[in-house]
Amino acid sequence: MNDMTDLRAGTVQATNIEVRQGGIARAEAQDIAVSYGGIGLARGTRVTTEFGGNLLTVAKEARITQSLASTVVAAEATLDQALAQVVLVGRATFRQPSGVLVLIAGKVDGPIRPVLDWRGALAAGAAMGLVLGILRRSK
């Protein structure tokens, strides 16, 4: 098990990674646990973040607690008092007040109102494409 305290690292690959008060650009492991730190890309079977942040989380099972996540791609994700920009999951569970901008999930449990669901995200993408196409033609 790699135990990292007060550390900043580029790429770390191991069976288990635990980060406390540190940061890693890219972490790949079976189990990744982050407390009071952050990871740019966290890729593993189980990724847990408490009081921290991840830019991209790719996991079979992701748990984000009192943390920030830019993008979460997982089979199952649990967000507890967390904020996320994009959540793409098979099953999402939300506990306590959490917020998400774009949510695309097969099944959702818990009290959550995303700013955009899959239909809204599709419509926003189509509108953005139309506006960019018009702007490019006018040049």
DSSP secondary structure, 51-103, as one string: SSEEEEEEEEEEEEES-EEEEEEEEEEEEES-EEEEEEEEEEEEESS-EEEEE
SS3 assignment, position 119: helix
List pLDDT tens digits, range 34-53.
Answer: 999 999 999 999 999 999 99
Confidence bin at 119 (pLDDT 50/70/90): confident
pTM of the predicted model as reported, rounded to 2 decimal places: 0.76
pLDDT mean over 117-139: 78
As a whole number, the mean pLDDT across the chain is 86
Q: How many CB atoms lie within 10 A of CB 74?
A: 23
Q: Please check whether residue 108 is in contact with residue 123, taking contact to mean a CB–CB distance below 8 angstroms.
A: no
List pLDDT tens digits, range 83-101.
Answer: 999 999 999 999 888 989 8
Range of the domain at 72: 2-137
